[in-house]
Structure 1
Amino acid sequence: MKKIPFKSPFGILLFVILPLVVILAISGIRLDLTKEKRYTLSDNTIKVLESINKPVMVDVYLEGDFPASFKQLQSETKFMLEEFRKINPKIDFKFIDPIKSKISQDTLMAMGMQPSVLPDVKDGKVSQIYLFPYAVVKYKGRGVSIPLVVQQNGIDADQQLTKSIENLEYNLVSNIKNIAVDKRKKIGILVNQDELSPEEFQGFMHLATENYEAGPIIPKNQTELTLADVPILKQMNALVIAKPRKAFTDGEKVILDQYIMNGGKTLWMIDAVNAEMDTLTRSKKVMPFPVDINMTDFFFNYGIRINPALVKDVKKFALLRLVTGEVGGNPQYTSLPWPYFPLGIAEKNDPITKNINPVKFEFPTSIDTLGGRKNIKTKVLFESSERTLLKQVPNYVDLKEIASVDSLGQMEKPSTPKIYAVALEGKFNSAYASRVERKSYPGFKGTSPDNKMIVIADGDVGRNKVIKGQPLPLGVDMLTNEQFGNEQFLRNALDYLLDDSNLMELRNRNIEERLLDRQRITEEKNNWQWFNLLLPLVVIGALGGLFFWLRKKKFG
């Protein structure tokens, strides 16, 4: 038998390339050559997955006959879960076809899934396909449903798919982390300053209890926070203060200051002006006035100031649905622009605000960032448009201002964009480090460890509407039937404050859309079909001819 020379092309193929391919196939090693490293897990994800010590099962309801776009989402999800399983074999998954498994829509909806309804055209007939693009993460008898498709208004199907894939790693690993954690983090809701009622705050409590333990913090003396409340505060990883209307005492401010100095995270939703839509609807005119909760110096210490002046955005605003007539005894409603309900639309690529619907603010004021705090990083989450007006209070707000929204910019001089919400992070210094009040607090600390805080200049951003005693979902406007992004914004805010694994950074991942030119596909379809058909035949013929020529040349 004639030996094959090792250095010949066939020898290199046989002894080098082929074994290398086999080794790579067996080992499962993959090379990620994409620009954005979309197939490479982050270090933070790997740490979370490695920490899982009990079996986790992920059921993915993306199996069956559905459009190509969902096939791509299915493929990306499968790849991601395969990578998870390589890191930790305790994480397993399976894909389920609800139709073949005979799982009813009612059962899926009872599991917290909402169907995606897609048109299906076959033989000239249009029908509807109901899909449930969800994953269910199961751990120790518990389960949580995860939507795999990003719900965001104003984007087309291709953008929705891209954003869903961008969010896939964060979506899966964060939910695995939350369900597999042995001890959930605690959130305290301060109840003492005439904050939102339980009915008005039910939507927020629902989202907070999905991944955390949350409950009210009620002062033991039923009047104000005292040193007796410090032990329960120390158990809270975060504190939420939603629309306080009663002034904080100096003693309470010291307690809150020291809560922050000891590492406690805080989420503030503050109304600096008292203006309620219910009152305005009844009387057609209302006079808002400033609300002083005695926190100006407190926030000044962190480099921000909340101004007692209403923001009117005549470019980015929500609609107000009002009765504008009557036909046959039935009221006629019209949706009209209302500049006192501006919309927060994410302009920057921030993990807290990315890929969410516009956030609806109601009679917000503005935040000034003062600077000069070297250890504090301040980032703006939402701000108004350049066509913004400020209304100083006390002053009348009249429903007639709806009619003149188009001419407001001419009647009054617009100011620069105003800030609605900020996130602060860094090492905070106590406002009482050089004041006599420090002596009233045992174990006083002058500086915090690395900490975070979010301040929103609107107390109603976390308030859900209550109709006839029944709370509506947070962010839902029943009259205009619009879903705003308030719920997702506040969920992201809590995750940002309590994220000790830095998983939130995964929400900043960007995948460049490399979409095919559909017009060119149509025009050149036949050419490429013939090319794909003939090219293999030409290559095989050329290689055969080359092999025959070399053999003839060598053996004559």
Structure 2
Amino acid sequence: MRKRSNILKNILLPLALVLAVQWFDLRFDLTQDQRYTLDPSTISVLEALDKPLKIDIFLSGKLPTDYLRFQREIQALIQSMEKYTDQLIVEYIDPFEGAPDTAELVAEMNQYGLTPEYVISEQNQAVEQTVVFPWAMVNDGNRTISVPLIEKNLGDNQQTIINRSIGQIEFKFFDAFFKINQEQKKVLAVLTSHDTSEDVKIADLMRSLQSYYQLASFDLKALENDPIKTLENLKRFELLVVSNPRVSFSEQEKYLLDQHLINGGKQLWMVNPVAINRDSLFNIKGSAVAIGNDLNMGNAFFKYGFRLEKNIIKDLYCAPIVLATGAQSQAQYLPIPWPYYPLVAPNDNVIGNGISNLWFKFASTIDTVRSSATKTPLVSSSDFSKSVQTPITIALNEASDKLVPSTFNQPHQTMGILVKGSFSSAFENRIKPVKINQHRDKGKSQMIIFSDGTLAENQVDKGSPLELGYDKWTNNFYGNKRFLNNCIHYLMGNNALLEVRSKAVNMVVLDRELIAKKSNSWRVALLLLPLLILGLFGAIVTRWRKAKYGQ
């Protein structure tokens, strides 16, 4: 009887406990930043999945140490997601398995837009280069979304890149699920009249928005003789994007834009308060005159609560400009700091969180004035800046002048703001340029404005648009595209995209130089300390035994 009881207690009960545990999925997130707890928006998207999603993750096989840690974090996230849906089919793929040649594999993956990362590591005084494809692909049977898993900002080292990417894993997959699950896209329009940015120069921004919204062009001059119809057409769009207009707006056009805003339409403006002939600046002459750029919108902007100053901001913290020194075969192209190109960190808010530095060019100060709407600064210059009044001559040879920090003595200056709340019409208590039905003097809306008309413009190489924020002359990447995407998501009411992206994940960064410096002493300590503790414990036990049993 006792033998049966022992079998029951020692074998059957533990076995039953092990089997019972398999039916329960108990996980506790004890991290301070709740890293493994999904955002409610992510949970809602997962629970709404009504068809299988195939997820291929190209992080498998031989990986560098940092990427192995990255892989484990992705696996933990996938496990958290599978708790809320059974529609995910996940496969980890080693892209090099069966690949005869690395160069051929890289070329093939590039055709699908999956660019590699080249990781340089030092092992045993030897330098080793590893090719990694940190990408995932999400497929619902009808369309495929490529998911870049790596998130990096200008100046990040390898460890910082991995830590930043770990913090953005949830957003990357949420973004892909959001794109696939959209049943109906909201519509936004881009102003094409008034000599705004050329199509090829805003092509990359428009391409990045196509997965989220329906895009349309809008010509404010198309029906000049029928302003009522023009306003009706304009009201169809939830957002109007105005990029770098160079032709002033007539009173009638300004009135139509005003009524679009007052009736709840959102607007995103990128304008140059100061006009500079950049062709003259970057040709043989090497100089240009900066003068005020009158778009006939000043009184309307003032009514909304802000004013664009006719000045140019110079910042000690700036992006470089590449200039040639020497002649013919002795010519060298050198990056030189150019204070007219402020390098701006977005302010800490839901739009700017986690975004790399922005690249502004010849920006101006935005002052706020009293109005019923609330104003929130989005981007500002550094505390080592100054403004110069126009008209002024700007010459490229200024780049050779030594920058004197003491002359950059003005505090930060606003270059982009969000205006939201109750707006008063710019034509309140004024004679209207055209009679329309249901004129409104007040209304609630939102507007974002930047004092750099080229903020959304990408560079062009051989007639093809490059990625927005990429400078082909210095090979630097800036955060313009992600920041403007966030601005548009905010104005279009897609706050879930911003909330998931701004989720704070605090990763502890090890000081590798300190580790390398003290690694030998730590090895010795870890070897000897357990022996000392064991010896001390043995001595205490021996003394206790002698005291107790010695008599």
TM normalised by structure 2 equals 0.84
1:191-270 alignment runs, 5 A limit: 191-219=192-220, 221=222, 223=224, 226-270=227-271
What is the CA–CA distance in structure 2 between the aligned matches of 1:20 and 1:161, rounded to whole Å?
A: 39
Does the 8 A contact of 1:115 with 1:131 survive in 2? yes
The equivalent of 1:544 in structure 2 is none
In structure 2, give the amino acid aligned to 1:472: L
- 276-285 or 127-136: bigger deviation: 276-285
Percent identity of equivalent pairs: 28
Q: Deviations over 1:210-258 (max 9, x none)?
A: 4332231124636588322334333323211001112222332332233
Alignment check: 8 A CA contact 2:303 2:371 kept: no
1:385 lines up with 2:382 in the alignment: yes
Q: Compare 36-45 and 423-432 and name the one that shifted more.
A: 423-432
Return the alpha-carbon distance in structure 1 between the equivalents of residues 237 and 151 of structure 2. 31
The alignment's C-alpha RMSD in Å is: 3.5
Q: How does 1:96-111 map to 2 (within 5 A)?
A: 96-100=93-97, 102=99, 104-111=105-112
Match of 1:493 among 478, 487, 490: 487
Match of 2:25 in 1: 28
- Output the CA distance in 2 between the equivalents of 1:239 and 1:486: 19
The alpha carbon displacement at 1:180 in A equals: 2.1
Q: How far is 1:21 from its partner?
A: 8.0
Using the alignment, how far apart are the partners of 2:110 and 2:27 within structure 1? 37
Aligned ranges 1:282-301 → 2 under 5 Å: 282=283, 283-301=285-303
Matched-pair contact (CA < 8 Å) for 2:160–2:509:
no
SS of the aligned residue for 1:423 comes to: strand
Task: Tell me if structure 1 keeps the 8 A contact 2:277–2:289.
Answer: no
1:38 corresponds in structure 2 to 35
Contact 2:190 2:218 in 1 (8 A): yes
C-alpha distance in 1, partners of 2:421/2:139? 36
Q: Aligned in 2, Cα 1:367/1:529: closer, same or farther, shift over 3 Å?
A: same
Q: Which moved more, 1:273-282 or 1:118-127?
A: 118-127
Contact 1:201/1:462 (CA < 8 Å) preserved in 2? yes
- Quick one: structure 1 residues 75 and 253, their matched pair in 2 at CA, closer, same or farther if it must change by over 3 Å? same
Measured against aligned partners, the alpha-carbon deviations of 1:137-196 in whole angstroms (never above 9, x if no partner) come to 223421121211112121222222221111121221022102321222222110111111
CA contact (8 A) 1:192 1:223 kept: no
Deviation string for 1:1-43 (max 9, x for gaps)? 45999xxxx99xx98x998886665221311111111111122
Does the C-alpha gap of structure 1 residues 168 and 225 become closer, same or farther in structure 2, counting only changes over 3 Å? farther
SS of structure 2 residue aligned to 1:259: helix
Structure 1 residue 64: deviation in Å?
1.2
Q: Distance in 2 between matches of 1:92 and 1:144?
A: 15
Amino acid aligned to 1:165? I
AA in 1 matched with 2:297: M
Q: 2: CA distance between counterparts of 1:166 and 1:85?
A: 19
Q: Which residue of 2 aligns with 1:309?
A: 311
Residues 489 and 495, structure 2, Cα contact 8 Å, conserved in 1? no
Q: Distance in 2 between matches of 1:320 and 1:256?
A: 37
Matched letter for residue 418 of structure 1: Q
Report the Cα distance in structure 1 between the residues aligned to 2:17 and 2:368, rounded to whole angstroms: 59
1:546 matched residue in structure 2: none
1:107 alignment partner, SS class: helix
**Residue in structure 1 matching 2:79, options 74, 79, 82:** 82
Partner of 2:338: helix, strand, or coil?
strand
Distance 2:376 2:531 in 1: 56
**Deviates further, 437-446 or 144-153:** 437-446
Question: Does 2:121 align with 1:127?
Answer: no
Conserved? CA contact 1:63–1:95, under 8 Å: yes
- Show the 5 A alignment for 1:420-435: 420-432=415-427, 435=430
Aligned partner of residue 336 in structure 1, secondary structure = strand
In structure 1, the partner of 2:498 is 504
* Maintained 8 Å contact 2:290/2:390: yes
The 1:524/1:394 distance shift into structure 2, 3 A limit, reads closer
Aligned length: 523
User: What is the CA-CA distance between 1:99 and the residue it aligns to?
Assistant: 1.5
2:543 counterpart residue number? none
Structure 2: how far apart are the matches of 1:224 and 1:19?
A: 83
Q: Which runs of 5+ in 1 are unaligned?
A: 540-556
Q: Please give the TM-score of this superposition, normalised by the length of structure 1.
A: 0.84
Residues 510 and 474 of structure 1, relative CA distance in 2, 3 Å threshold = same
Shift of residue 356, structure 1, vs aligned partner: 3.4
Task: Pick one of 465, 478, 482 that aligns with 1:484.
Answer: 478
Equivalences for 1:430-449 in 2 at 5 Å?
430-432=425-427, 435=430, 437=432, 440-448=435-443
Letter of the structure 1 residue corresponding to residue 281 of structure 2: L
Deviation, structure 1 residue 135: 1.3
Match of 2:450 among 425, 445, 456: 456
- CA shift, 1:71, in A, is 1.6
In structure 2, how many angstroms separate the alpha carbons of the residues matched to 1:260 and 1:97?
A: 52
Per the TM alignment, residue 97 of structure 1 is displaced from its structure 2 partner at its CA by 1.2
Q: What does residue 336 of structure 1 align with?
A: 336
Residue equivalent to 2:540: none
Distance, in Å, in 2 between the alignment partners of 1:429 and 1:151 is 42
Secondary structure of the structure 2 residue equivalent to 1:416 = coil
> Where do 1:63-82 residues align within 5 Å?
63-82=60-79
2:358 pairs with 1:359: yes
Aligned CA distance change for structure 1 residues 54 and 370 (closer, same or farther; 3 Å): farther
SS at match of 1:28: coil
Mean Cα displacement is larger for which, 501-510 or 165-174? 501-510
CA separation in 2, counterparts of 1:380 and 1:157? Answer: 32
Contact 2:223 2:230 in 1 (8 A): no
Distance of 1:428 and 1:27 partners within structure 2: 55
Seen in structure 2, the aligned counterparts of structure 1 residues 217 and 311 have a Cα distance that, compared at 3 Å, is same
Q: Shift of the alpha carbon at 1:125?
A: 5.0
| Deviation of the 1:132 alpha carbon | 0.6
Say which SS state the counterpart of residue 381 (structure 1) adopts: strand
Q: Which residue of 2 aligns with 1:407?
A: 404
Unaligned runs of 5+ in 2: 538-551
Q: CA deviation at 1:111?
A: 1.8
Structure 1 residues 469 and 497 mapped into 2: Cα distance closer, same or farther (>3 Å)?
A: same
Structure 1 residues 433 and 524 mapped into 2: Cα distance closer, same or farther (>3 Å)? same
